[in-house]
Amino acid sequence: MAGELSGKRALVTGASSGIGRAAAETFAREGATVAVHGRSAERLAATLGAIEKAGGNAFPVTADMRERAAIKAMCADALDKLGGIDIIVNSAGVCTLTPMVETEEAMWDETLDINLTACFLVSKHTMPAMIAQGSGRMIYISSISGKEAEANSCAYNASKGGLILFGKCLAREVGPKGVTVNSICPGWIDTKMAGELHEQFAAEQSRPYDDVFDESMRMNMMNVIQSPQDIADMALFLASDKGKHVTGQAINVCAGMSTV
C-alpha cells in the first residue's frame, strides 16, 4: 500500500474505538504497518476487520493500561512484531466528571494511571528504539481541557494538562536525537465516551439526550460536530514528512471551541 506512511511502523493505543481506531485505520491506509492496541483482542476485531478490508496491514497487541507489567509486555510485543518503531499514537484514555470532594481515590488513580502514567510507560519502553535509529514520532492525544479550568473535572484536566507538559519536556530531551513529540488537543469529538458523558449531562439537566448532545457538541466557532477522523488527520500530518519539524507543541483541533 503506497501512501504518506509507506513502510513505516506504528503503534496506536486505544485503537478499539474512537480516535484511536480512526488513527489506526488512517495510518494503515497510508501504508504503515500498525500494531493496534486494546484491552483485549475481541475488542479490536472491528478495527482489524476494517483495516484488512481496506487492504492494510495490522495486528493486535493487548494490555490493561492500568497494569504496568502488561504495558511493558505489550510494548515489547509490538516492537518485536514490527521489527522496530517509527510512530506512536497514545490514544487510550478515560474521563469521569465529578466534583473534587466526591472523587474517590480509586477514580483519581485510574484517571492518572491511564491518561498520564500509561503514556509515560509506553514512551519509556519504546523511545530507546527511536533514539537508536535517530528518528521517530511520539504523539499524545491530550485535550483542550488540559489547558483550561473546568468545574467537576479535576482528575481529567490534571491528567491531560500533565500529559501536555510531559510531552514538551520529552521533546526537549529527544529533539537532538531526531525524534519529535507533540500533543493533539481535541474539543468534543463524536465518540462513545462523549456519548456517555452527555447521557450524564442530560440526566443532570432533566433534558432530552439528543438536545443536550447537539447543543454541547456544536459549542464551537464553526457550529460543527467533530469526528474522530478530524484528529486522525492531524496525527497523520504529525507522523508524515510534512510534520518533520513540528515538535514540543500542543495543537488544538477543536473547531475554535477553546476560545468560545
**Which of 229-254 are b and which e, b meaning 16 or more Cβ less than 10 Å from the residue's Cβ?**
bbbbebbbbbbbeebeeebebbbbbb
Is 209 a residue of the active site?
no
Active-site residue identified among 140, 156, 166, 213: 156
The amino acid present at 167, given as its one-letter code, is G
* Catalytic residue IDs: 156
